[in-house]
Each structure stands twice: as structure tokens, then as C-alpha cells.
Amino acid sequence: MQNKKVVAIVLGVMCFALTAGICIQIRTVQATNSSVSNNYEENNLRAEVLRYKERYDNKVEDLANAEEELEKERESATKNDTALKEKEEDILEGNKIIGLTEVTGPGVIVTLSDSKKDASSSLDPSSLLVHDTDVLSVINELKNAGAEAISINDQRIIPTTGIICGGNIIDINGEKVGAPFEIKAIGLPEQLAALDRPGGYLELLRSYSVEANLEKSNNITIPKYTGTITYEYAKAIED
Amino acid sequence: MNAPMISYTYSSYLAIAVVAALDSVFGGITSVINKNFDLKIFATGFFGNAILAILLTILGQRLNVDIYLAAIVVFVGRMFVNLAIIRRYFVDKWSRKFEKIKNSRTKKEQTAETKVEEN
């Protein structure tokens, strides 16, 4: 009888110890994300991002198709009416100015790429990189020199475009754009080429050993803006 | 779950102790099946193995050798062996039971047939 009691007590203590150990361990592991579960979560997130990217690409394609259709409809509708045709031309002119049509013409191509120097060779490694402010300054100077249409790595610059630092990339029109930056501008090439004047911004960039080149060209094509423009607050004043 | 938590630093020790204890439990079940179960050996093995595993893990961390991997390999390997023995025992038991049921059924049928013939 005594023996049985001892057996029961010892087994009970052992069962308690084992369950307590397992419970504490599970709770601890749950509270501290282990690297395995972290990796798992990261992979899931990555897959989700890819899925969204695919969906986004599909939507962009749909949008392009719809715009093409709209263009065709407009063309067929205005074929036989001179008044409508004038309006159509107004629309086209307006689209050209706000960046909703592909444009081509003479201009310059500016390429800015990060320095090939080793980062450890500079006191300030950050100065070896092309920053959002550099791109912004170049765009500003091009606009000042009379550029009519500008794109950075095929992102059209429109009146509502923002150029923001996004870590190791810059954010243009909400799209991520990385170095090297190819800035295309349409305008009078000789005037735009003044960007490369002595003491100009490109020379300043070169002094930081950033690679900056300017090239004149007679045939530059700048793509249209692919996003949507929404004006919610600005209202036209009617006379 | 309202279980208390321990610092993550010590959770690897607790994990190896839990694995050692589980190994002891399966070893105990196997010894019950083999009819050579001894409570003293079981209890000392349960706590002794756990503590030894923790000490080995600490030693391994001091020496920068992952000794706990060896402990896990040994414990889990033994667990599988013990589980195989337990599985075999129960499969044998059940198959014998099924055979008994089958035999009794055929016997019943035979007796029924003889009864029919008698009638």
C-alpha cells in the first residue's frame, strides 16, 4: 500500500514537471519570435507582395487598353464634325501639356550614376551617391531652361509629381526609381545644355565624383504618365 | 495559456530538458511493455537525463561547440526506437484480438450450420 502511494506521488511529480516544462517552453517560444517563424513570415509577406505586384501589372495593362479604346471612340465620334474636331484637338493639346500623351522631339539626356569609388575612400560616403535633392535640382534647372517634357527613368514628370527620398531608391510618382538616373528633357538642346556650364549643378556633382553626363539629341521620346490625376479640391473660377 | 515565461536565454536549456524528459517517458513505457519497469531507475533517469542535458548544453556554450545537437540526436533517435517497440506491441495485440473475433465468428457460423443440418 505504502509502495503504491510512493509510486503515484513520484509519477505525479514527474508528469507535473514535464507538462510545466513543455508549457513554459511553448509560451517562451511563442513570445519571442524565433528565427524560423520569422523567416516563414517573411516568405509569406514576400509572396503576398509578388501577388499584389502581379495584380497591379494586370490593372495597368487593363487601363492602357481602356485608354486606347477611348481614343478610338473619340476619333470615330469626331470624324465628321468640325466643331467636335476642334474640341478633340484641344484635348490632345491639353493632354500633351499635362503629360498624358507620349511626346517626341529634340532635347538632352542627363545621366546621373553613383560614384564608382570605394565608399571607404571618402570621408562622407553619402556624397558619393545621387540623392533625391540632386535629381530635384537638375529637374529644376531643366525646367528653368525651358524644358517642355521631362522624364526620369521613364517616369514622366507632371505638375503633381513629387520626388522623395525612399531609402536607397527615390520615389517618383509613387514609383520606386533607382540609380543610375536617366533624365530626358525635350526643349531647345542648346539652351538645356547650359546645365553643363562651368559652375553648374553637374559640375558640382562631378566634384563629389558622382558620374554626371549630358548628351544632346535630336530625337528623344518621353513616355506618357501612366497614373491617374485627381483634382479634388481645386475648382475653376467661372466668369 | 497562463504559463509563466522564462528568459529566452534559458529557453534552449529548458527545451533540451523537455526532450530528455520525453525520451525518459517513452523509455519507461517501453520498459513497462518489456515488463522490466523499475520506478527508481525511471525517476532518476527522468530528472538525471534532463539535468545532464542542461549541463552538457551549458558546457557546449562555454566551449563554443553545439553539444546540444548531439543530445538531441541521441534522445530523438532513442525516442523513435522506443516508439517503434510500442507500436509493434500494440499492433500485435490488436491483430491478435481481430483474429480471435474472426475465429469466434467462424465457429458460430459452423455451429449454426450444423444446427440447420440437424433440423
- Average pLDDT along chain A: 86
B1 assigned to some structural domain = no
The confidence score (pLDDT) of residue A1 equals: 57
Separation CA A232–CA B43 (nearest Å): 77
Asked whether residue B107 is assigned to any structural domain, the reply reads no
Residue A34 has pLDDT above 70, yes or no: no
Residue with cell 473475433: B101
User: Helices marked H in A35-81 — which ranges?
Assistant: 35-77
Smallest Cα distance from A7 to chain B, Å: 7
Residue B99 within a domain: no
Inter-residue contact A109 to A214 (CB < 8 Å): yes
Q: What does the pLDDT read at residue B113? A: 74
CB within 8 Å: B4 and A24: yes
pLDDT for A35: 63
pLDDT digits over A184-201, tens only? 999 999 999 988 888 888
Alpha-carbon distance A13 to nearest alpha carbon in chain B (angstroms): 10
**Closest Cα partner for B38 from A20, A18, A10?**
A10
| Domain annotation covers residue B40 | yes
Chain mean position to CA A200: 27
Task: Name every residue whose Cβ is closer than 8 Å to that of residue B44 and which is 6 or more positions away in sequence.
Answer: none
The answer to the question of residue B110 being in a domain is no
> With an 8 Å Cβ cutoff, is A84 touching chain B?
no
Contacts of A23 in chain B (CB under 8 A): 1, 3
Closest-CA distance, A46 to chain B, in angstroms, reads: 28
Q: What is the pLDDT of residues A110-154, one digit of tens each?
A: 999 988 888 777 778 888 888 889 999 999 999 999 999 999 998
φ, ψ for residue A181 (rounded to 5)? -95, 125
Record: contact B6-A24, CB cut-off 8 A? yes
Residue B70 lies in a domain: yes
Strands (DSSP E) contained in A96-210 are 103-113, 149-152, 155-156, 163-166, 169-172, 175-177, 181-186
Backbone φ and ψ of A152, nearest 5°? -115, 120
Domains: count for chain B: 1
Residue B22: list chain A partners with CB under 8 A.
Answer: 18
Q: Is A25 on the interface with B (CB under 8 A)?
A: yes
